[in-house]
Structure 1
Amino acid sequence: QAADAWSPQAVENALKAGKPVFVDFTASWCVTCQANKIAVLDREDIRKAFKQHGVVFLVADWTNQNPDITQALESFGRSGVPLYILYSPDGKTTVLPELLTKNIVIEALDKLPSN
């Protein structure tokens, strides 16, 4: 499934619907972001894992310094991208490392409460 555009409302709506949310805070000029996208996030097995867990995949594109995204980054103590957040419908928020691997993402998904 393709990612949808991030907004605080999109996160809230998905969580209210009982769905976990994975947010990719990224930018076109961010080398690490692009590497993670190619190596991990754009891979078929990760897309399948998202689907299996009912994850809503949102991309917060900070290429043009969107103030809402800046505020979200700062709320996690970050001044820039990449930032990967997995929100669980039970209110738990997991911040994933800046350098992603498939295992890191899969393990985080496996810790989500079962539907």
Structure 2
Amino acid sequence: LNALMPHVTFRMSSGDKIYFKDNGNPQARYDIVKWYFLEIGNKKSIKVGSFDGSESDGKLFVNDSANLWGPYFSECVHSRCSEPCKPGFRKAKVEGAPSCCYTCVLCADGEMSNIT
């Protein structure tokens, strides 16, 4: 069956063309949605972007005018647990946290931090 999949092409009722790559996987197309949780058990979603992997380089679109992060953030939320340590400080592991989460502690006498 995998040998035949790259030759299958069809259109969805929406008009989108669906085809399969040489390895038999379908091309990736995703809507990026923001979920609003209103009341208990009541939620709403709004499309704020899309990704189309059918292009050779992939196409990512995000609606910059959409209020992606809500009223509490004025800029994009960073996907990292800890900020980089300043010169003179080093990373210290936080027990029970992922390795990307750490605290910054002052370097001991005779230690140097990498400031580059």
Same fold, judged at TM 0.5 (above): no
Where on the TM-score scale, by shorter chain, does this alignment land: which range? under 0.3
TM-score (norm 1): 0.18
TM-score (norm 2): 0.18
Higher helix content, 1 or 2: 1
Higher strand content, 1 or 2: 2
Greater relative CO, 1 or 2 (CA 8 Å, sep 6+): 1
